[in-house]
Amino acid sequence: MPNFIDRRLNPKDKSLGNRQRFLKRAREELKRVIKEQVKSDRIIDVDAAHGVPMPTDGASEPTFQPARGSGERNYVLPGNKQFSAGDRLPKPEAGGGGGGKGRPGTGESEDDFQFILSREEVLDLFFEDLELPDMVKLSLKETVTFKPRRAGFATAGTPTNINVGRTMRNSFGRRMALHRPKEKELTVLSEEIARLEAAPEISPKDRQRLSELRSELERIERKRRRIPYVDPVDIRFNRFEQQPLPNANAVMFCLMDVSASMGEREKDLAKRFFVLLHLFLKRRYERIDIVFIRHTDEAREVDEETFFYSTQSGGTIVSTALEEMIRIIEDRYPSQIWNIYAAQASDGDNIIGDSEHCAALLREKLTKLCQYYAYVEIIDERETEIFGSTDNGTALWRAYRTVDGEKSNFQMTRIAKPADIYPVFRRLFARQPATRTRK
Amino acid sequence: MARRATSGLLFQGSDWNFTTLSRAYDAIEQVALEEMGLSVYPNQLEIITSEQMLDAYSSVGMPLMYQHWSFGKRFAYEEHHYRKGHRGLAYELVINSNPCITYLMEENTMAMQALVTAHAAFGHNHFFKNNYLFRQWTDAGAILSYMDFAKKYVTKCEERHGTAAVEAILDSAHALMDQGVFRYRRPPRLSSEKVRERARERLEYEEQTYSDLWRTLPQTAESHDPAEAERDASERKKVLNLPEENLLYFLEKHSLILEPWQRELLRIVRVIAQYFYPQRQTKVMNEGCATFVHYTIINRLYDQGRIGEGHMLELLQSHSNVVFQPDFDDRRYPGINPYALGFAMMQDIQRIATEPTAEDRDWFPSFAGNGDWMETLRDAWANHRDESFILQYLSPAVMRKFRLFHLADRASERFVEVASIHNERGYSAVRSALSNSYDVAANQPDIQVMDVDLLGDRHLRLQHNIKSGIVLEEGSRNATLRHVRHLWGYEVSLAGVDPQTGRTVYEYSTAKDG
């Protein structure tokens, strides 16, 4: 008899530590890949699991390896069909003879293999230079909350979930079907036996009756034992299903100036800003629509591809975008049904005289329609020192500044590097605990 | 009648439980020990899930292993292929230890569990216990406790010196793992915990009492006599026991910059490399032995009416998958399948011992027709490794069956030549070429420590003895040398020397990197 050991219940993820070490090692490379992917992915796909090619820098394991195509080698191969000794075959162009195959995990064969980063790992890398507070990170990474809901009955479960009504109904049906003797029959019989036994003198007829009664009593008792009152098959449990908490719908408007002054860097920052807003919203809403509006001197609703990647020339009239947004809201997203969020990114250029119009639109219409309106002005890193957080700046900035003071759901900031983005959302996040309890 | 026929079966249906497992085990054990005369370590069978199998894969098949990122990389790699369905998992994994640990996958059907038990718990187990390489070079009784020690020691070092410092040493040591084995000299036995403890204490004592003053003693005047220098060189080579083929051993003993814990880490890597060295030399034999044993046992149980026909078909199907050998021009050709070659050769030995042809009597006079095939096989299993086994036992019949041919590939020419094929003139040549390709020591670059002047510039000189003109791949060679430099602490150079002409083909020194 050998020694059998069941290891299946041993703690899982024995190699988790190794995997984490590997990720840590490959971190720089992975960060670069993720950054590229965030740039090219659609906003809603950013927090999905990503496949990344096996990083080569910092994760290579060199050993002394024979060089290909040098020296004299001998191969013995199976399956000769037509060769005889002395035949000469031309060498294949590349790759040498039938010999060289990469060893798993070391050779060149690993270039074509991608490994999968989970959503958490991707977000970790994405958050890294955004400098989010830990609590925020945690809360963004958390997925939807669930609530147990009654969903019928089950034959298995924990004792606390026994449904007594169902169980007793089943037990009753079974007892009826199997003719389980009732308590009453038992008492009648035993009373009769007691009565007969109590008699001072027992006639032969009574004696026979008594033995009949006794055997009847024994039969009934045996039957009652065989057919239990409650059998395991009767037991029913309440079944619960994990149901995600219902969330309302939200729509997110992305507004961006695409005039020539917005370069590659500005667009990348703007995208990170939009992605982050999307992540925040995703925490709270089951379904999010995203509307992309770009503008030069006229505004149009476009798809994501066009929004980020195609350029357009022309002047800059910001108010056209706001008007377009108002039109779309009236058209498709009535504000009593939809939670409306808006994020506007611009470099602050605007045609003279339009900025006041924008501020008015914001103050009178948009801040009333929207849950939250965030404006970021993307500036050059050198300009940060000049402007700081002063009121000075472009006409658009100064005009928006007046709105900032009076409306609590309006946020604005200047950003020059990724780490500047988060403060825009601080207030949005701070409101979270209040709205979280919403059912 | 029908009842009696089925009651002899060891199991029915495809589900297994521990009762059927141990009933099958007992039946297999009976055939293995009594009829085949195998001798095995006590068995320990462990049931694991597919995820645990992946874990075991990535930690080089050891139940206990220290932590290192490269195992994580391997895990990611294996998992990727498994998820994509490129590759199934092994049905079992067996560890050369005493007791012999065999992992069984929970997904296997009962019939497969029986097959795997026969294959691993008896086939591999017998081979581990009896083959001379394993007996001489590994210590099955001590490996598990040694791995336990290694794991704890590495963890302790990480706590004391930081993960990064430990990883840096392990990275460098892993790069030299292939150069960390004794190929010809028998390695010292794994010493017991107490001896190791004492050695560590001594090192710590030396460290504490080390006085920097000794270093400042004035040097004696240098003589510039060439004969004197020559004598000096041979003297110091003698002291250091040079040339030395085991780079890790040399660095562990003589590196001037390593601290005791770093030396111990090198030693751990070296011991593991040495432990696996026999397995790399006996792939064909080991798998062939296990496959032959399971095939014989399963057929015997079927003949006894203890395995049903349905199960037998399942087992034969999986057996023939294992021993499938695609032709060289097949898309699926991965190289010669060690299971196929080993099994075919051992079946052939059985045939030669019982029903030899005239050709066999010619080639194998020592055992052709001796009738006792089991004894012949046991003898072969005990006393050979792949290279010598093929050289001695590969018969023309098997060469014809595999249609083996020998290709010679010279870098200088634009064609490859079919040197010999499976015919009367070619048998010996094909056989020795195949045997040679299984000689691990001959196929790995031969790199040795040649010289170092510990009192001078401490420049470590390595020499690569080039065989058949095969040089090293430059990128990985230079990267590996940088690892050597990391462990040695001073400049390291590698010279490629053609042993026939004594000419230096290439030379590379880490000093050039700057």
DSSP B49-79: -HHHHHHHHHTTT-SS----HHHHHHHHHHH
**pLDDT(B512) > 70:** no
Whole-angstrom distance, CA of residue B487 vs CA of residue B510: 13
Whether residues B308 and B378 share a domain: the answer is no
CB A261 within 8 A of CB A349: yes
Is residue B223, in this structure, part of any structural domain at all? Answer: no
Chain B residue with the nearest C-alpha to that of A75 = B407
For residue A360, the distance in angstroms to the closest alpha carbon of chain B comes to: 56
* Domains in chain A with CATH codes: 159-238 (no CATH), 249-436 (3.40.50.410)
Chain A residue with the nearest C-alpha to that of B324 = A78
For residue A155, the distance in angstroms to the closest alpha carbon of chain B comes to: 24
DSSP B90: P
pLDDT band (50, 70, 90) for residue B330: confident
Whether residues B432 and B328 share a domain: the answer is yes
Q: What is the ipTM of this complex?
A: 0.79
**pLDDT(B59) > 80:** no
**pLDDT(B425) > 60:** yes
DSSP B216: G
Q: What is the mean pLDDT of chain B?
A: 85
Is residue A396 helix, strand or coil?
helix
CB A180 within 8 A of CB A171: no
pLDDT of residue A418: 77
Query: What separation in angstroms does the CA of B23 have from each of A412, B16, B20, B102, B105?
Result: 76, 11, 5, 17, 18
B88 touching chain A per CB within 8 A: no
Is residue B220, in this structure, part of any structural domain at all? Answer: no
pLDDT of residue B86: 66
The separation between CA A290 and the C-alpha centre of its own chain, rounded to angstroms, equals 18
DSSP B117: I
Selected for mutation to probe chain A from B49, B52, B73 (highest A CB count within 10 Å) is B73
Query: Mean pLDDT for each consecutive 10-residue tract of chain A (439 residues)?
Result: 80 77 77 73 68 64 81 86 85 50 36 64 71 59 68 88 92 92 89 85 83 90 90 90 69 83 79 80 74 84 80 79 88 80 83 84 84 82 64 76 78 78 65 38
Is residue B236, in this structure, part of any structural domain at all? Answer: no
pLDDT band (50, 70, 90) for residue B189: low
pLDDT band (50, 70, 90) for residue B30: very high
Number of domains present in the structure of chain B = 3
Whether residues B372 and B304 share a domain: the answer is no
Q: In this complex, which of B48, B75, B335 lies closest to A7 when CB atoms are compared?
A: B48
Whole-angstrom distance, CA of residue A282 vs CA of residue A275: 10
pLDDT: which is higher, B157 or A12: B157
What average pLDDT score do residues B137-161 get? 88
CB A249 within 8 A of CB A339: yes
Is residue B101, in this structure, part of any structural domain at all? Answer: yes
Q: Count contacts between A and B (CB, < 8 Å).
A: 264
Chain B positions touching A80 (Cβ under 8 A) are 403-405, 421-422
pLDDT of residue B225: 66
CB A400 within 8 A of CB A375: yes
- Tokens standing for residue A91: 């060498």
Whether residues B420 and B484 share a domain: the answer is no
- Estimate the crossing angle of helix B163-175 against helix B140-161, to 10 degrees: 140
Whether residues B309 and B413 share a domain: the answer is no
Chain B positions touching A25 (Cβ under 8 A) are 69
| Residue contact A77–B328, C-beta within 8 A | yes
Is residue B307, in this structure, part of any structural domain at all? Answer: yes
Look at residues B115, B94, B103 and name the one whose alpha carbon lies nearest to residue B41. Answer: B94
- Tokens standing for residue B93: 């994994």
Q: Which of B441, B456, B473 is the last residue of a domain?
A: B441
Selected for mutation to probe chain B from A63, A68, A93 (highest B CB count within 10 Å) is A63
Bridge partners, residue B102, by sequence? B45, B94
Residue-range definition of the domain harbouring residue B101: 2-131+282-314
Whole-angstrom distance, CA of residue B386 vs CA of residue B438: 6
Query: If you count them, how many residues does chain B have?
Result: 514
Burial class (CB in 10 A: 0-12, 13-18, 19+), B448: middle
pLDDT of residue A387: 62
Whether residues B22 and B117 share a domain: the answer is yes
Q: Classify each residue of B178-202 as buried b or exposed e, where b means 16 or more C-beta atoms within 10 Å of its C-beta.
A: bbbbbeeeebeebeeeeebeeeeee
Whole-angstrom distance, CA of residue B329 vs CA of residue A98: 9
Which residues lie below 8 Å from residue A266, measured CB to CB, with a gap of 6+?
A: A345, A347, A378
Q: Which of B269, B291, B314 is the last residue of a domain?
A: B314
Three-state secondary structure string covering A240-309: EEEEECCCCEEEEEEEEECCCCCCHHHHHHHHHHHHHHHHHHHHHCCEEEEEEEEECCCEEEECHHHHHH
B178 touching chain A per CB within 8 A: yes
Is residue B476, in this structure, part of any structural domain at all? Answer: yes
Is residue B456, in this structure, part of any structural domain at all? Answer: yes
Whether residues B362 and B481 share a domain: the answer is no
What average pLDDT score do residues B464-477 get? 86
Chain B residue with the nearest C-alpha to that of A101 = B334
Helix spans in B304-414 (H): 309-322, 338-354, 358-363, 373-383, 386-393, 396-402
Is residue B218, in this structure, part of any structural domain at all? Answer: no
| Residue contact B70–A97, C-beta within 8 A | no
pLDDT in tens, B258-297: 888 999 999 999 989 888 888 888 999 999 999 999 999 9
Q: Which of B400, B419, B441 is the last residue of a domain?
A: B441
For residue A31, the distance in angstroms to the closest alpha carbon of chain B comes to: 17
Whole-angstrom distance, CA of residue B291 vs CA of residue B319: 8
| Residue contact B77–A54, C-beta within 8 A | yes
Whether residues B360 and B407 share a domain: the answer is yes
pLDDT in tens, B352-375: 999 999 999 999 998 888 888 999
For residue A281, the distance in angstroms to the closest alpha carbon of chain B comes to: 33
Selected for mutation to probe chain B from A14, A56, A115 (highest B CB count within 10 Å) is A14
Query: If you count them, how many residues does chain A have?
Result: 439
